[in-house]
């Protein structure tokens, strides 16, 4: 600490868990956008990742409330926002938005995978048959009319999901932007910054996951799909950097009394996390790499590696942005005459020992979902669904479960 700080500013109230909260919810909103671009706007090149995006959004949505629950001293009281609702509470608003989005997303996921679930239920035996029958809600036949109705409902839910995803994460930006007493947070651009950066992080995550899942399943990567995601990622990244730049320019133009404190915050406390990681390695470098992959004549494997590396850097950059907003805003003293400091503890109720497992948990849930449900259409062929080209069926190491192409 340096300068003048009030006694109640010595302790950082919103820790790394609150950094994870907007980061994970941002990945939910961003991942869903890819599915919506395919379902609503008919972008055919995104077909290979449409299902993966839905499962990714669901996996991260299930974990999104956990950082808040872990932050609470009495996490079991979290359910009270539903039992005794207070619709004028900005903090409680996340619970209502999360519940609405959870119902919408789980319904869409079930409809998208319904044919595959029914096919697996009819071709499995034992515990697998029980599992898939339960997932199918006991309905093991899908008439042609019902299938057409499911497709219409999927498009409607995807269309509704776009503003719902924007509300889910734009709300987080609203919480910070509405804190007028904090000059680092109080800006009307904060909801837009959070939303655009969420889309950026979601697309980047899907690019990395698509490459990793394809490698694990020994499936060929659709380079057209990667290129399309790369174009959208580059576009949204440019918008995100532009909006964040406008925020800084507006602060400089207004030249309020807090400008000196903000300048000290950026050049002292956030010099590495903001200038180097967020702007340098998390924005400028991946943007340049994505431009090269779109314009230069690179080999497919080289282009793919550059795209995955750029997406990985963007994920780090967006996490750094969340850190700079949540933690950075608490480092400025209310007197504007001092700066606090914060290093996340390792063993603590809100330390890394809690934060790291929460960040890993969505990937474990996603791996489970990918094991139970076919992420690509042709994975359902062994369960009895028609296929345009026959594929080699391998020995099934799990008795009672239908063998999937590419399984070992």
From residue 285, alpha-carbon distances to 27, 140, 270, 374 in Å are 21, 51, 19, 35
Give the model confidence (pLDDT) of 229-244 as tens digits: 999 999 999 999 999 8
Q: Could you tell me if residue 84 is inside a domain?
A: yes
**DSSP conformational letter for 316:** H
With pLDDT > 90 as the criterion, what percentage of the chain qualifies?
Answer: 31
Q: Could you tell me if residue 407 is inside a domain?
A: no
Q: Could you tell me if residue 75 is inside a domain?
A: yes
Which residue range(s) make up the domain with 31? Answer: 2-374
Question: Residue 104 maps to which CATH number?
Answer: 1.20.1630.10
Give the model confidence (pLDDT) of 292-313 as tens digits: 988 777 888 889 999 999 999 9
Q: Could you tell me if residue 27 is inside a domain?
A: yes
pLDDT of residue 308: 94
pLDDT band at 400 (very low <50, low <70, confident <90, very high): low
Q: How far apart are CA 345 and CA 352, in angstroms?
A: 6
Q: Is 104 in contact with 160 (CB distance < 8 Å)? A: yes
Residue 398 has pLDDT above 60, yes or no: no
pLDDT band at 143 (very low <50, low <70, confident <90, very high): confident
* Closest C-alpha to 108, from 64, 160, 145, 60: 160
Give the model confidence (pLDDT) of 305-354 as tens digits: 999 999 999 999 999 999 998 888 888 877 777 777 888 888 888 889 99
Q: Is 233 in contact with 200 (CB distance < 8 Å)? A: yes
pLDDT of residue 404: 47
The string of DSSP codes covering 240-306 is: HHHHHHHHHHHHHHH--TTHHHHHHIIIIITIIIIIIIIIIIIIIHHHHHHHHHHHS---HHHHHHH
Residue 246 has pLDDT above 80, yes or no: yes
Neighbours of 165 (CB within 10 A): 28
> What is the Rg, in whole angstroms, of the alpha carbon atoms belonging to the chain?
23
Q: Which two tokens stand for residue 313?
A: 């850097």
Q: Which two tokens stand for residue 327?
A: 């933690």
pLDDT band at 384 (very low <50, low <70, confident <90, very high): very low
Q: What is the mean pLDDT of the chain?
A: 83
pLDDT of residue 124: 83
User: Residue 255: exposed, middle, or buried by beta-carbon count in 10 A (0-12, 13-18, 19+)?
Assistant: exposed
User: Residue 403: exposed, middle, or buried by beta-carbon count in 10 A (0-12, 13-18, 19+)?
Assistant: middle
Q: How far apart are CA 275 and CA 84, in angstroms?
A: 44
Residue 380 has pLDDT above 60, yes or no: no
| Number of domains, the chain | 1
Query: H or E segment at 175?
Result: helix 144-177
pLDDT of residue 55: 94
Q: Is 98 in contact with 61 (CB distance < 8 Å)? A: yes
Q: Could you tell me if residue 382 is inside a domain?
A: no
Q: Looking at 338-404, which runs of residues are DSSP E strands?
A: 338-339
pLDDT of residue 396: 45
Task: List Cβ neighbours of 73 (8 Å cut-off, separation of 6 or more).
Answer: none
Q: Could you tell me if residue 118 is inside a domain?
A: yes
Neighbours of 114 (CB within 10 A): 19
Residue 187 has pLDDT above 50, yes or no: yes
Q: How far apart are CA 403 and CA 408, in angstroms?
A: 9
Q: Could you tell me if residue 406 is inside a domain?
A: no
**Crossing angle (nearest 10°) for helices 190-216 and 16-39:** 70
From residue 148, alpha-carbon distances to 99, 130, 145, 374 in Å are 27, 26, 5, 20
The phi, psi pair for 339, rounded to 5°, reads -130, 135
Q: Which two tokens stand for residue 123?
A: 């071709």
Q: How far apart are CA 278 and CA 318, in angstroms?
A: 7
Q: Could you tell me if residue 143 is inside a domain?
A: yes
**DSSP conformational letter for 113:** T
């Amino acid at each position: 600490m340096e300068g003048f700080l009030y006694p109640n500013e010595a302790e950082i109230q919103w820790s790394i868990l609150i950094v994870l909260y907007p980061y994970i919810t941002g990945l939910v909103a961003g991942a869903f956008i890819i599915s919506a671009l395919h379902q609503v706007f008919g972008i055919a090149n995104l077909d290979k990742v449409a299902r993966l995006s839905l499962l990714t959004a669901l996996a991260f949505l299930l974990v999104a409330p956990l950082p808040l629950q872990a932050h609470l001293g009495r996490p079991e009281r979290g359910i009270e926002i539903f039992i005794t609702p207070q619709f004028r509470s900005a903090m409680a608003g996340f619970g209502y938005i999360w519940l609405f989005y959870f119902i919408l997303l789980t319904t869409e996921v079930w409809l998208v995978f319904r044919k595959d679930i029914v096919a697996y239920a009819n071709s499995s035996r034992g515990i697998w048959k029980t599992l898939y029958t339960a997932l199918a809600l006991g309905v093991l036949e899908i008439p042609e009319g019902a299938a057409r109705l499911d497709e219409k409902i999927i498009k409607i839910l995807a269309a509704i999901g776009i503003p719902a995803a924007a509300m889910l994460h734009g709300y987080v930006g609203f919480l910070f932007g509405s804190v007028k007493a904090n000059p680092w947070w109080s800006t009307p651009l904060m909801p837009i910054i959070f939303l655009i950066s969420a889309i950026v992080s979601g697309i980047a995550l899907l690019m990395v996951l698509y490459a990793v899942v394809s490698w694990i399943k020994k499936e060929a990567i659709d380079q057209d799909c990667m290129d399309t995601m790369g174009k959208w990622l580059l576009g949204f990244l440019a918008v995100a950097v532009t909006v964040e730049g406008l925020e800084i320019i507006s602060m400089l133009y207004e030249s309020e009394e807090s400008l000196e404190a903000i300048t000290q915050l950026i050049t002292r406390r956030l010099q590495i996390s903001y200038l180097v990681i967020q702007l340098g390695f998390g924005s400028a470098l991946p943007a340049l790499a994505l431009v090269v992959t779109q314009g230069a004549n690179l080999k497919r494997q080289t282009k793919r590696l550059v795209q995955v590396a750029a997406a990985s850097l963007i994920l780090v950059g967006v996490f750094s942005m969340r850190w700079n907003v949540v933690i950075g805003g608490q480092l400025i003293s209310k007197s504007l005459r001092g700066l606090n400091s914060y290093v996340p503890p390792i063993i603590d109720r809100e330390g890394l020992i809690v934060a790291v497992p929460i960040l890993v948990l969505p990937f474990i849930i996603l791996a489970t979902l990918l094991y139970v449900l076919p992420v690509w259409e042709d994975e359902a062929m062994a369960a009895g669904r028609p296929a345009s080209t026959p594929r080699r069926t391998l020995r099934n190491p799990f008795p009672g479960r239908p063998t999937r192409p590419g399984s070992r």
